[in-house]
């Protein structure tokens, strides 16, 4: 049976390699609902905090702080989903043959690299703007190089855990 595009995106985004059955659907829906509720609470609190803090501090500093807080909340939500995926072993898939393992390993590497570059690009602009505003032009590149190198190591370790025998 051919999977719809949305299911393929969910599996790719969360790193699910098993078929998307009822169990996987229930786990993802439950985790997604919990994250959605906490994100709604965070959005309301951050909106009120933004209004109050702008009256006390520089608007650029407050908005920069909010961008960093939003990035931190995104990483916490991603870590939570990743924990749920690993806890329920949705990232583990028993391959029928070596050819299938190779196909899934290539898809895994490509999707992880694509997501890493996308997150890096999305995070680079606001953080580089903030660093430029603070007058720290040269100190941004070591942060991004360190992030990307650490992310490559994490991708390789996850690849070894999932696909090496």
DSSP conformation letters of 5-68: HHHHHHHHHHT--S---HHHHHHHHHHHHHHHHHHHHHHHHHHHHHHHHHHHS-HHHHHHHHHH
Q: Which residue has the higher pLDDT, 108 or 52?
A: 52
DSSP H/E element including 142:
helix 140-163
Q: What is the pLDDT of residue 40?
A: 92
Residues 86, 102 within the same domain: no
pLDDT on residue 142: 76
- State whether 50 and 117 are in the same domain: no
Query: In this model, does residue 133 exceed pLDDT 80?
Result: no
For residues 87 and 108, membership in a common domain is answered with no
What's the CA gap between 96 and 114, in Å, rounded? 27
Same domain, 113 and 149: yes
Domain count, the chain: 2
Note whether 132 and 154 are same-domain residues: yes
Last residue of a domain, one of 92, 110, 139: 92
Question: Cα–Cα distances in Å, from 58 out to 43, 50, 73?
Answer: 21, 11, 23
Query: What was the pLDDT predicted at 41?
Result: 92
H-type alpha helices, 57-139: 59-87, 98-134
Does pTM top 0.95 for this prediction?
A: no
- Is 13 found in the same domain as 88? yes
Q: Could you tell me if 88 and 100 lie in one domain? A: no
């Amino acid at each position: 049976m051919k999977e719809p595009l949305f299911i393929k995106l969910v599996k790719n985004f969360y790193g699910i390699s098993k078929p998307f059955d009822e169990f996987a659907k229930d786990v993802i829906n439950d985790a997604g609902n919990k994250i959605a509720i906490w994100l709604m609470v965070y959005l309301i609190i951050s909106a009120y905090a933004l209004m109050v803090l702008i009256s006390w501090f520089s608007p650029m500093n407050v908005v920069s702080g909010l961008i960093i807080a939003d990035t931190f909340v995104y990483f916490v939500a991603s870590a939570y989903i990743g924990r749920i995926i690993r806890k329920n072993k949705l990232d583990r898939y028993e391959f029928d043959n070596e050819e299938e393992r190779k196909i899934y390993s290539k898809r895994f590497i490509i999707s992880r690299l694509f997501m890493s570059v996308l997150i890096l690009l999305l995070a680079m602009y606001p953080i580089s703007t903030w660093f430029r505003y603070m007058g720290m032009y040269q100190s941004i590149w070591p942060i991004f190089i360190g992030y990307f190198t650490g992310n490559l190591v994490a991708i390789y370790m996850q690849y070894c855990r999932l696909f090496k025998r």
